[in-house]
Amino acid sequence: MKQKINLFRESLKLVWKSAPGWTVANIVLSAIRSVLPLLLVVLIKMLIDAITAAVKEGQGFEDNQIILMIVAVAVVYFIDEISSDLGNWVRKNQSYKLEIFMYGLLHRKSISLDLINFEKPEYFDILTRASREAPWRPNSILNNLITLLKGAASLLLMTGLIFTLHWSMAVILLAVNIPGIWMRLHYAGVLYNFQKKQTPEARKSAYFNWLLTGDRPSRELRLFGLGDYFIKMFRNSFLRHKEEEMDIIRKRTFIEMISGLFKAAALLFVLIFIAGRTTGGVISLGEMAMFLLAFRQGMTYIKEIFGSVSGLYEDSLFIGDTFEFLNLEEKIKAEEPIASVKVFNDKIILENLTFTYPGNRSKTIDNVSLQIKKGEIIAIVGPNGAGKSTLVRLLCRLYDPDSGEIRLDGNEIKNIDPAEYRKLFSVVFQDFMLYNLSAGENIRLGDIGANVVDQENKIRSAAGTAGVDKLIASLPEGYSASIGNLFDDSRELSWGEWQKIALARSLYRDAPILILDEPSSALDADAEYEIFSRFREIVKGRTSILISHRFTNVTLADRIIVIDQGAIAESGTHDELMERKGIYHSMYTKQSGRFAGSQESDY
Ligand code: ATP
């Protein structure tokens, strides 16, 4: 309970921070609306009594008292209506302010979280629930609390009024709603647990839906005729997920109907009682109307109150996920004693690095030690799955190793602010990004924060080096042309062209260390030759790490590191490794033999 109250408090703080003015307006309007119904009921009673008296005394309609009452009823009714409309408008404004505020929190958290979280399915489950609930749950808490207080105040006034008729009527009004309360609280818990259990299944449905409707899967889907297969997968996953939910809702509806029966019985009893009192002359016609309305309103308030109580209970369950996500801790941060490193002067040392992905059994990186000197060109080769890309991720501190350390110019990288440290690197990842933006912007993203003097020329120069300048120049709007397939006026590029853009992006960034993970996997032979024959000129003395399966490209490196099963198997220059006749020699001769063979057969 204490924990739930804390969650509410934290949520209300968020609501307040996101829109203090709208929150006050919402509370004030709700307070006004809580007294209006009682006023209306009392005025109606007075009106009926005035009409009854006028009828008895044979007076006409023009009686001032009657007209005054009619006007008063109409005015209160009007105020109630407009405050309801205003309330909706205020709530909508407050909701959208909160939504953008919460999205801000979610996005900021998502970009700062350790990359390792993205390897864990539980992370995606929390993220899915948090992004589904966060934008509106805190407001729901506020509105439920307001409804609860407003309903409680109105109910108190109405119950007081009914009490004047007979105490038992007030008791009936409250008691008849008990089954409803129990049901709502019980099913709020059941539905939450169900939805929590079903998050992975819901993600599966969303994934199959993407396979069926997304752009990337659309080609294979058609070629391999996978449509019906995935429709079936989606259907099964969706039904599994929905049928159980419908079963819970069916049970809840049944109990709701039973509780409706109780209410009807109570109404019957109350009607008989009030009719008896009216015909017995104990209460006036006006009072009869007032009590009937009060009873009806009382039932509505109780429904509202219990609705908000169960709503709050449900909110407390779901908002927990949002705070769980927002409170996830980043482990990749600068540790004391903090070192400020803005330049790379000497060398990077990797010492006894060991790393295993969460959920994997064997070590991905196994006791790797390596020195990289400033200005060196290092090539990393090795079979698929050897751990090359993982080593690079550790070097960029996207993950922290399980053991071992990396030192840059003598400073352990754990002591350097990760954002500052990463500024020293420019990387073309194997799975580089395609941004549906302009061609120029796609390159500029390589160093978005930099204050570049001659930005346009620098972008063109990076594009020229990557061999993509002619293509961009041929686009209708040149560097301003949108590329990709997401927007109407954009032009899609080939995969190789995208790769050249990614290369240009990395070259645009003035970082002292350049990492290229399979940068030419999709390039044509000419483009690849063009880049690698001028590699030293292109990297301009930067420390470079090149991962490649093309052995002709790696021969240019000062040193070649061969990784096998997460460990360094061999290292040296091309000639040294060839002499050694180990893994490198075997892979190199196989590849060059294949080329020689294919050339022979070509001729
Ligand atoms: P390739 O030449 O195919 O690109 P690589 O040498 O770059 O391979 P890595 O991508 O570093 O290999 O992967 C090394 C091992 O770690 C592989 O066995 C892979 O299955 C595993 N692995 C890679 N990424 C992840 C991940 N995100 N989560 C779990 N395991 C991973």
Query: Per-residue confidence at 350, pLDDT binned at 50, 70, 90?
Result: very high
pLDDT at residue 455, rounded to an integer: 85
Residue 321: pLDDT above 60?
Answer: yes
Query: Per-residue confidence at 131, pLDDT binned at 50, 70, 90?
Result: confident
More confident residue, 413 or 198: 413
Helix (H, G, I), strand (E, B) or coil at 206: helix
- Report the separation in Å between the CA atom of 386 and the middle of ligand 1, taken as the mean of its atom positions: 7
- The amino acid that residue 363 corresponds to is K
- Report the separation in Å between the CA atom of 422 and the middle of ligand 1, taken as the mean of its atom positions: 21
Within 6 Å (CB) of ligand 1, which residues are found? 119, 357, 360, 364, 382, 384-390, 430
Domains of the chain, start order: 2-326 (1.20.1560.10), 347-424+511-603 (3.40.50.300), 430-510 (3.40.50.300)
Nearest atom in ligand 1 to the alpha carbon of residue 118 is 27
Residue 35: pLDDT above 60?
Answer: yes
- Report the separation in Å between the CA atom of 385 and the middle of ligand 1, taken as the mean of its atom positions: 5
- The amino acid that residue 396 corresponds to is C
Contact 26, 94 (CB under 8 A): yes
- Write phi, then psi, for 314 (nearest 5 degrees): -65, -45
Quickly count helices (H) and strands (E) in the chain. 21, 10
Which of these ranges, 287-301, 367-381, 391-405, 521-535, has the smallest mean pLDDT? 521-535
Mean pLDDT calculated for residue range 275-295: 87
- Report the separation in Å between the CA atom of 448 and the middle of ligand 1, taken as the mean of its atom positions: 29
Contact 248, 184 (CB under 8 A): no
Which of these ranges, 101-105, 242-246, 366-370, 421-425, has the smallest mean pLDDT? 242-246
Which tokens sit at 155?
A: 């109910």
Q: Whose CA is nearest to atom 16 of ligand 1?
A: 364
pLDDT at residue 471, rounded to an integer: 92
SS3 sequence of 36-82: HHHHHHHHHHHHHHHHHHHHHCCCCCCCHHHHHHHHHHHHHHHHHHH
Q: Whose CA is nearest to atom 24 of ligand 1?
A: 390
pLDDT at residue 602, rounded to an integer: 35
Q: What is the pLDDT of residues 545-585, one digit of tens each?
A: 999 888 888 888 999 999 999 999 999 999 999 999 999 99
Nearest atom in ligand 1 to the alpha carbon of residue 359 is 29
pLDDT > 90 in the chain, percent: 30
Which tokens sit at 63?
A: 């009686």
Residue 600: pLDDT above 50?
Answer: no
Mean pLDDT calculated for residue range 353-360: 92
List all residues 6 or more positions away from 444 whose beta carbon is below 8 Å from its beta carbon: 455, 459, 508
- Report the separation in Å between the CA atom of 499 and the middle of ligand 1, taken as the mean of its atom positions: 20
- Report the separation in Å between the CA atom of 119 and the middle of ligand 1, taken as the mean of its atom positions: 12
Which of these ranges, 64-73, 184-193, 318-327, has the smallest mean pLDDT? 184-193
Q: pTM for this one?
A: 0.75
Mean pLDDT calculated for residue range 277-297: 87
d(CA 167, CA 179): 21
Which tokens sit at 405?
A: 């350390």
Q: What is the mean pLDDT of the chain?
A: 86
Range among 145-154, 171-180, 342-351 with highest mean pLDDT value: 342-351
List all residues 6 or more positions away from 271 whose beta carbon is below 8 Å from its beta carbon: 292
Query: Per-residue confidence at 601, pLDDT binned at 50, 70, 90?
Result: very low
Nearest atom in ligand 1 to the alpha carbon of residue 387 is 11
Of 356, 364, 384, 565, best ligand 1 pocket probe by most atoms within 8 Å of the beta carbon: 364
Of 380, 389, 399, 563, best ligand 1 pocket probe by most atoms within 8 Å of the beta carbon: 389
Q: Whose CA is nearest to atom 29 of ligand 1?
A: 357
Mean pLDDT calculated for residue range 310-338: 85
Residue 598: pLDDT above 50?
Answer: no
Helix (H, G, I), strand (E, B) or coil at 426: strand
Q: Whose CA is nearest to atom 1 of ligand 1?
A: 384
Which tokens sit at 135?
A: 């934008």
- Report the separation in Å between the CA atom of 589 and the middle of ligand 1, taken as the mean of its atom positions: 25
- Report the separation in Å between the CA atom of 358 and the middle of ligand 1, taken as the mean of its atom positions: 12
Q: Whose CA is nearest to atom 31 of ligand 1?
A: 357
Of 118, 390, 517, 563, best ligand 1 pocket probe by most atoms within 8 Å of the beta carbon: 390
d(CA 564, CA 364): 10
Peptide bond just before 217 cis, omega within 30 deg = no
Helix (H, G, I), strand (E, B) or coil at 438: strand
Cα separation values, 201 from 114, 117, 126, 197, 242, Å: 25, 19, 13, 8, 10
- Report the separation in Å between the CA atom of 390 and the middle of ligand 1, taken as the mean of its atom positions: 6
Contact 463, 475 (CB under 8 A): no
Taken in order 464, 468, 474, 475, the sign of the CA dihedral is: negative
Mean pLDDT calculated for residue range 317-341: 87
Cα separation values, 331 from 13, 117, 399, 417, Å: 26, 10, 9, 12
- Report the separation in Å between the CA atom of 387 and the middle of ligand 1, taken as the mean of its atom positions: 6
pLDDT at residue 599, rounded to an integer: 43
Residue 317: pLDDT above 90?
Answer: no
- The amino acid that residue 210 corresponds to is W
Q: What is the pLDDT of residues 455-501, one digit of tens each?
A: 889 999 999 988 899 999 998 889 999 998 877 778 888 888 999 99
Query: Per-residue confidence at 132, pLDDT binned at 50, 70, 90?
Result: confident
**Radius of gyration, alpha carbons of the chain:** 36
Q: Whose CA is nearest to atom 11 of ligand 1?
A: 387
Residue 513: pLDDT above 90?
Answer: yes
Nearest atom in ligand 1 to the alpha carbon of residue 390 is 11
d(CA 405, CA 426): 21
